A and B are shown apart, each in its own frame.
Chain A
């Protein structure tokens, strides 16, 4: 016959964390207990030693399955003068022709008279994860004689996407999943002059760093020697600081110490000095993406040659989700608050006595 034994902690133990009234660390902001109405009791307790494995950690796997089923959107904007290799870089980043070369002009094609906005969408799948990538190109930016306010069409486009999302969000019968066309990231291409930022660069980033995540890159950096590159990067960082331009990842949005130390390293590396290529070469028996010159092959993914791989790892492999979250929680929320303030707000809903109605319909 079975015998009673004192309870013990089993393998794979689930341990009770702090009781609810103890403030959790800032990185994990648990919300207050649900507030009841009227005479409802309210309590907060801490379990005794748990008897074994529950399985709450499986929610991570459940979320993974959901994500793989649903897929996700990523919208990236490229801004810079023509001929800086914007399309090539994006094609290199995503290892496929996701951006049309806006500069492969035939005799008839001219530089557009105004800044145009062109979007191309592709579905990319990798490791079972589907991503709808939209590349927003801005041909004509900075290519005119007079470039006054040439960032305005870009700013307008970004705000229009926020407006679209807001309209969907405040709809009464809204979609289960609101289509997300908001620009998650803007790659700004700096000309590899080796001197300093141009007035146009400063003005653009000053205006747009408040509404979108800007990642500045030094384009075609194979024209710079390592010394020139280091000096140029340092100067760009200094100018951004002096002008009060906060590029992504913004210091104020670091969530905790771990975040801060990761992001500080990135901030020290910025702007990334990159080279793009969609050509493959054989180097020491290995196939590499690169640019072949008479004096050697610039290996795009070799961190000793350029910082493309750092940019890719940052944008895609470590911070892609964060780029989307900062867009949603910061830039979009800022836009929304401003719009609703202009509008006098979504008028608060009066709590009427309908709570006990039989259905939600």
Chain B
């Protein structure tokens, strides 16, 4: 006959008979399956003067033609007179994970004689996406999954002058760092020597600090010590000095993405040559979810607060009666 067991079994140890194992960690697998079924979205905006390799870099990041070269200056195609906003969407699948990638290009930025307020159309576009999301969110009968066209990340291309940030760079980032995650990159960094690159990066970091421009990952949003440590390393490296290429070359018997010159091949994914791999890891392999979270819980929430405050204030400046939009309500059992 069976006897009462004398020794207790540790509750969270998974033994052969699985005694003590509940299975709450299985939620991770459940979430993985859901995510793989649904897929997800990533919306990236690229901003910078023409000819800095924006399209090439995006194509290099996502290993496919996800961005069209916006300026092929033939007789017909000229630099646009005003800033246009162009979105191209692609579905990319990798290891069963589907991502709808939208690349938002801004041809015409910084290319005019007078570039005053040239960030405004971009700001307007970003806020329009927040507005669309907000309108969907406050719908009574809302979608199970609200289409997310919010800009998760803005890659800002700094020309490789080797000196310091230009006023247009400072103004753009100062205005937009409050509404979107900005990741600054030094474009076409193969024009700089290692010494020039280090000096330029340091100078840019000083300029950003002096102008109180908080770029991604923002210090104030580090969640814990582990986060802080990882993000500090990234902040010390920003802006990433990058080179893009969609050409493959054979180097020492290996196929590599690179740019071939008379004096050698710049290997795009070689971290001793440029920092493309660090940028890719940040944007895709380590911080992509965080970039989306910050967009949703910080930038969008700030927009929402401002809009609802505007909407909830009477002309005389008095707040409307129900600041949260729903009056007090006694819940009844028969309500459903």
Contact = CB atoms under 8 A, between A and B. Distances in A.
Given A316-B22, A346-B325, A20 B84 contact: no
Contact of A37 (B98, B123, B124): B124
A227 interface: no
B148 to A, nearest CB: 7
Interface in B28-64: 28, 30-32, 34-41, 43, 61-64
B99 to A, nearest CB: 5
A351 interface: yes
B309 A343 contact: no
A52 B39 contact: no
Classify the secondary structure of B's interface with A.
mixed
A108 interface: no
A259 to B, nearest CB: 9
A145 interface: no
Contact of A30 (B22, B100, B299, B334): B100
B27 A321 contact: yes
Contacts of A339: 326, 329
Contacts of A292: 2, 4
Interface in B120-134: 120, 123-125, 127-132, 134
B90 A16 contact: yes
B306 interface: yes
Contacts of A45: 65-66, 68, 88-90
Given A33-B87, A126-B12, A62 B289 contact: yes
A27 B34 CA distance: 9
Interface stretch (A191-199, A238-246, A278-286): A278-286
Nearest to B269: A52
A318 B293 CA distance: 26
B179 A359 contact: yes
B272 interface: no
A303 interface: no
B163 interface: no
A271 to B, nearest CB: 21
B93 A125 contact: no
Contacts of B30: 318-322
B232 interface: no
Nearest to B60: A51
B73 interface: no
B336 A155 contact: yes
B194 interface: no
A272 B309 CA distance: 51
Given A56-B97, A126-B21, A288-B17, A320 B90 contact: no
A195 to B, nearest CB: 29
Given A2-B265, A54-B62, A59-B289, A159 B37 contact: no
B135 A2 contact: no
A255 B302 CA distance: 34
B199 to A, nearest CB: 29
Contacts, number: 401
A126 B302 CA distance: 36
Contacts of B134: 349
A72 B28 CA distance: 11
A16 B93 contact: yes
A297 interface: yes
B128 A349 contact: no
B149 interface: yes
Contacts of A44: 88-90
A50 interface: yes
B306 A43 contact: no
Nearest to B319: A172
Nearest to A208: B336
A20 B333 contact: no
Contact of A95 (B20, B95, B329): B20
A163 B328 CA distance: 10
A167 B328 CA distance: 9
B250 interface: yes
Contacts of B88: 42-45
B312 A172 contact: yes
B315 interface: no
Interface in A43-100: 43-60, 62-64, 66-69, 72, 74, 93-96
A69 B124 contact: no
A358 B308 CA distance: 17
B26 A318 contact: yes
B211 interface: no
A55 B278 CA distance: 13
Given A44-B88, A126-B22, A283-B2, A56 B99 contact: yes
A18 B100 CA distance: 10
A337 interface: yes
A35 to B, nearest CB: 7
Contact of B86 (A43, A170, A341): A43
A48 B64 contact: yes
B210 interface: no
Contacts of A24: 39, 91, 98
B203 to A, nearest CB: 25
A186 B312 CA distance: 38
A329 B144 CA distance: 6
B58 to A, nearest CB: 11
A15 B64 CA distance: 9
7 contacts: A31-B146, A33-B87, A41-B86, A43-B88, A124-B24, A289-B19, A316-B24
Given A34-B147, A125-B12, 9 more contacts: A12-B95, A14-B64, A16-B90, A59-B289, A96-B11, A152-B333, A172-B323, A320-B27, A360-B299
Interface of B: 2-5, 8-9, 11-12, 17-28, 30-32, 34-41, 43, 61-66, 68, 84-100, 102, 104, 120, 123-125, 127-132, 134-135, 138, 140-142, 144-149, 175, 178-179, 223-224, 246-251, 255, 257-258, 260, 264-265, 280-281, 284-290, 293, 297, 299, 301-312, 323-327, 329, 331-336
